[in-house]
């Protein structure tokens, strides 16, 4: 079974402070990990994926297979980062759960001025 | 492209009534997903289709829930009879398989309230 855990439902930081949204996963195989974001009054959308090793809007996330984690980080939070963030997992192509995206419970990030 | 289109945006119904949620995926996408969003559980995958065929419906909570995809451009999620605990936002999403997991494109969701 595949499972994603986001331990924090709410996270508040001040503008300019570092932020880390935690994500742990359980999967028997090689997963693909994603972060999705939902800004106020907008659709849920992809923020970044681990295979791309990219930085989007200043956010990065590193897959740590030893700790089965995929934490989302940003060194200096901005007010416009306030949103709901979801960590998600899927199996790799060729696997039984390829295409099936399982989400965590989500973390609401609030960045105060 | 208008993206994934869901209807209605809001649905308020009384307990025991039948509810039908509709989704039009992005043209050309071969995966379609139905998710339910609640504060307590976040985003739960209910069912997903590949090329109109249901692949995994293990997330469908009860027999009261059913989903169909009669063709590549339309899917429905039906709840019969509805109960207050079904109140949630229901999202439809679609994606296109191309050798790796492509991003899901979500609709705006249907906010269901069962009184």
* pLDDT tens string A40-76: 988 999 999 887 778 889 999 989 989 999 999 999 9
Write out the two tokens for B112.
Answer: 């269901």
* CA neighbor of A78 nearest in space, from A21, A19, A16: A16
pLDDT at A93 (0 to 100):
64
Of A45, A93, A105, the CB nearest to B100: A93
Q: Work out the pLDDT band at A38, boundaries 50, 70, 90.
A: very high
To the nearest 5 percent, what fractions of chain B are helix, strand and coil?
Answer: 5, 55, 45
* CA neighbor of B92 nearest in space, from B62, B49, B61: B49
Residue B73, C-beta contacts closer than 8 angstroms, at least 6 positions apart: B24, B25, B27
Q: Which residues of A touch B103 (CB under 8 A)?
A: 34, 45-46, 49
Nearest 5°: CA angle at A68, between A67 and A72?
A: 95
- Angstroms from A86 CA to nearest CA on chain B: 8
Averaged confidence pLDDT in chain B: 92
Q: Is A93 on the interface with B (CB under 8 A)?
A: yes
Of A44, A100, A105, the CB nearest to B106: A44
- Angstroms from B26 CA to nearest CA on chain A: 14
Q: Do B101 and A101 touch (CB under 8 A)?
A: yes
B34 DSSP β-pair partners: B47, B92
Residue B34, C-beta contacts closer than 8 angstroms, at least 6 positions apart: B23, B45, B46, B47, B48, B67, B75, B77, B90, B91, B92
Dihedral angle, C-alpha A86, B105, B101, A6, nearest 10 °: 10
């Amino acid at each position: 079974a595949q499972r994603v855990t986001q331990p924090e439902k709410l996270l508040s930081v001040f503008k300019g402070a570092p932020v880390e949204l935690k994500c742990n996963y359980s999967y028997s195989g090689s997963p693909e990990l994603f972060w999705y974001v939902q800004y106020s009054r907008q659709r849920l959308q992809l923020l970044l994926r681990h295979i791309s090793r990219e930085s989007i809007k200043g956010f990065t996330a590193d897959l740590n297979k030893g700790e089965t984690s995929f934490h989302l980080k940003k060194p200096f939070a901005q007010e416009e980062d306030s949103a709901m963030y979801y960590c998600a997992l899927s199996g790799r192509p060729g696997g039984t759960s390829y295409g099936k995206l399982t989400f965590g419970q989500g973390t609401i990030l609030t960045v105060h001025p | 492209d208008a993206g994934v289109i869901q209807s209605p945006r809001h649905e308020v119904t009384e307990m025991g009534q039948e509810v039908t949620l509709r989704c039009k995926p992005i043209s050309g996408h071969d995966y379609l997903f139905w998710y339910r969003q609640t504060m307590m559980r976040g985003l739960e995958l209910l069912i997903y289709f590949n090329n109109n065929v249901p692949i995994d419906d293990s997330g469908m909570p009860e027999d009261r829930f059913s989903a169909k995809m009669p063709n590549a451009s339309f899917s429905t999620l039906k709840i019969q009879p509805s109960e207050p605990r079904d109140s949630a936002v229901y999202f439809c999403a679609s994606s296109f398989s191309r050798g790796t997991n492509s991003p899901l494109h979500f609709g705006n969701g249907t906010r269901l309230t069962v009184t």
